[in-house]
Amino acid sequence: MSGSPPEFWSRRRLARWLEPRYAWGRAMHNLPQKLLAVTASVALWLVATAERRANVEQGYDVPVSVRDTTGGRSTRATSALNPSTVRVTLSGRPERLREISPKNIEAVVDVTGVPEGSFTRPVRVSPPSGTALTRQDPDKIQGFVDTQLTRTLPVTLGVATPSESSLPRYAVSPAEVSVSGPGRVVGAVRQVVTSPSVIPAGTERELPLIALNAQGRPVEGVMTQPSTVTVRRLDTGELPVKNVPVVLNPPPAALRVTSVSVQPSSVRLVAAPELLARLREVAGTVVYRAGTYTAPVTLRLPAGAQALEEVTVRLTVVPATPPAAPEGSAPPSEDQGPAKSVPATSAAPAAATPASGSPRPPAP
């Protein structure tokens, strides 16, 4: 048997394993030790892969910051970043990712040494501790490097429209602010206004500032110093103010008004309450002449009243057509003397209308 070939012994061992009794005996041999070994192996695998199996992914929109350590005599600024944010996907444990916000992630584009003008540079993302960067989109962004510029502009007050019965007065502190940023962006700023707000009488509020361009749209990429101003309302409350229509004096008899437009057609008057209660309209005087023109209106205000607006009128005036002589009447003889002008009071009275229509004398 010792000289039997190896294939013989292999077939013999395989045949023994095919016998049910032998196979069962070998399987049950040292069974507790075998089960313990399998359990330990599974436990070790679970421990070794627990962190990898518990990691999840989460995306964040991270704003891009600019780093520029270029030396020189002038300060540089960057504008027109496109895009201004990058989409960053991090992997880590769920509880760690829940603690992270976009401001905890650093996305930096370095423009050190980049000449002034447009650029395309890569963005470097630094993930927070306990996380790993999976991907980012995009990898590069575009922008513009320019010289830093600072301008001083007055602050324009932006408040809600007051009621017609009030005359609010405000004080802004400071009255001027500095606007700084890239030269071409700061050059587009035309005014700095406060955020619109309703300020009660006798109070003050701190309002943020908004830089606007010539079209009245906000300008992005600039900084105001300070970023807010204090607006204080100086008046104590409501004033005795009344809105009354303007009525023009009538034209002379030799002229006729074909078109009239008074701007504004009514004015706000400040006066004692008892005087305002009696006022229904205010008389306005204008000089009439033939033609189409715009003229100022002189308001005839009662003593103790003051108008808050100036009034103008757009007129179209033509010469009045003289009445035709009755048929068959003889012309005046020389000894009768020259024809006399008809006084304005003798003319047929015109219907009374306010300033938006034809002029008329003021009501007593």
pLDDT in tens, 245-258: 999 999 998 999 99
* Cα–Cα distance, 61 to 42 (Å, whole number): 40
* Cα–Cα distance, 282 to 273 (Å, whole number): 16
* Cα–Cα distance, 253 to 350 (Å, whole number): 12
Confidence (pLDDT) at 342: 33
H helices within the chain, ranges in order?
Answer: 6-17, 20-28, 31-54, 94-98, 183-186, 273-278
**In a domain? residue 343:** no
Percent of the chain topping pLDDT 90: 26
Residue that is last in its domain, among 109, 125, 147: 147
41 and 122 both lie in a single domain: no
Least Cα distance to 322 among 345, 349, 340 occurs for: 340
* Pairing outcome for strands 131-137 and 85-92: antiparallel
* Cα–Cα distance, 303 to 308 (Å, whole number): 15
Tokens found for residue 321? 């057509």
Question: When comparing pLDDT for 239 and 127, which is higher?
Answer: 127
CB 287 within 8 A of CB 255: no
Instruction: Give residue-wise pLDDT tens across range 199-220.
Output: 888 888 999 999 999 898 999 8
* Cα–Cα distance, 284 to 46 (Å, whole number): 96
Question: When comparing pLDDT for 202 and 53, which is higher?
Answer: 202
Whether pLDDT at 225 is above 60: yes
Residue 132's domain comprises 56-147
276 and 355 both lie in a single domain: yes
**In a domain? residue 206:** yes
Lowest mean pLDDT among 199-208, 309-318, 341-350: 341-350
139 and 161 both lie in a single domain: no
Our CA dihedral for 339, 341, 346, 350, rounded to 10 degrees, sits at: 130
Please identify which residue in the block is written with the tokens 């306005």.
284
Lowest mean pLDDT among 139-148, 233-242, 276-285: 233-242
0.75 cut: is pTM over it? Answer: no
As for how many domains the chain has, the answer is: 4
219 and 302 both lie in a single domain: no
Instruction: Give residue-wise pLDDT tens across range 180-196.
Output: 888 888 888 999 999 88
Question: When comparing pLDDT for 77 and 253, which is higher?
Answer: 253
31 and 82 both lie in a single domain: no
* Cα–Cα distance, 252 to 249 (Å, whole number): 9
Whether pLDDT at 36 is above 90: no
Mean pLDDT over residues 98-103, rounded? 86
According to DSSP, the residues that pair with 92 across neighbouring strands are: 56, 131
Whether pLDDT at 352 is above 50: no
Question: When comparing pLDDT for 337 and 103, which is higher?
Answer: 103
41 and 60 both lie in a single domain: no
